[in-house]
Chains A and B, each alone.
Chain A
Amino acid sequence: MTGSILSWALGFALACISVAILLSLFRLVRGPTPGDRILSVDTLTINVIALIVVFGVAESTQTYFEASLLLAMVAFVGTVAYCKFLLRGDIVE
């Protein structure tokens, strides 16, 4: 069974990550340039990866790791594709 300190730490980490997601969403809505929005989506996905992992620890299940790994890969490819589109006006040349 998880101890009380561990459950407190899990709650603390989940709260921190949730506030971090809200701050990234604020920058996503507010961001003056497209670069800000790309960066904020990137941060948002990384925060969601952390949320999934901490949730997996809290639920004591290893089901969600594939989801976080896939999300990491898709986030990287998406960021590079957005930046490539801004740089070249085209993604696959």
Chain B
Amino acid sequence: MNPILELLIVLLLVLGGLFILVGSWGLARLPSLMTRLHGPTKATTLGVGGCLIASMIYFPAMGGTLSAHELLITIFLLLTAPISANMIAKAHLHRQGHAIDPNPADGISEGLPGPSSGADWATFHGAESPRQD
């Protein structure tokens, strides 16, 4: 195999593994859900992208054909990670309401501030009153 390509694959694999480790370390270590969301959504997605691109370089370098499967997975993960993070944050706010975040290690002294117009955030609509239909 071409030594430059091999070095590139090694670099991408090591960086990808480190980013995945850092993302999960953040998930285990950070104090509240809103901070924990940062690790997996950014670092882990980047790390998986690195591993997938290393795999995409590896197979043509070994004499196989170039395939777009890995790129497909990378793009799909990059598209869906923000959506799932937004959904998790919305579900968390919906359950938590205006109350203080339940984790005491967080150090947050007040709850979520309301919007300036005096209305309520849309995610709290129907939080206390269940649907009628």
Contacts and interface: CB of A to CB of B under 8 A. Distances in A.
A13 B53 CA distance: 14
Contacts of A33: 33, 92, 95-96, 102
Interface residues of A, number: 56
Contacts of B18: 16
B33 A36 contact: yes
Contacts of B94: 86-87
B36 A36 contact: yes
Range for the number of chain B residues in contact with chain A:
35 or more
Given A65-B69, A68-B73, A89-B130, A13 B13 contact: yes
Contacts of A10: 13
Nearest to B57: A57
Given A9-B9, A12-B13, A17-B17, A79 B87 contact: yes
A50 B16 contact: yes
Interface of B: 1, 6-7, 9-10, 13-14, 16-18, 20-21, 23-25, 27-28, 33, 36-37, 39-40, 44-45, 47-48, 51-52, 54-55, 58-59, 62, 64, 67, 69-70, 72-73, 76-77, 80-81, 83-84, 87-92, 94-96, 102-103, 123, 130-131
Interface of A: 2-3, 5-6, 8-10, 12-17, 19-21, 23-24, 26-27, 32-36, 38-40, 42-43, 46-47, 49-50, 53-54, 56-57, 60, 62, 65-66, 68-69, 72-73, 76, 79-80, 82-84, 86-89
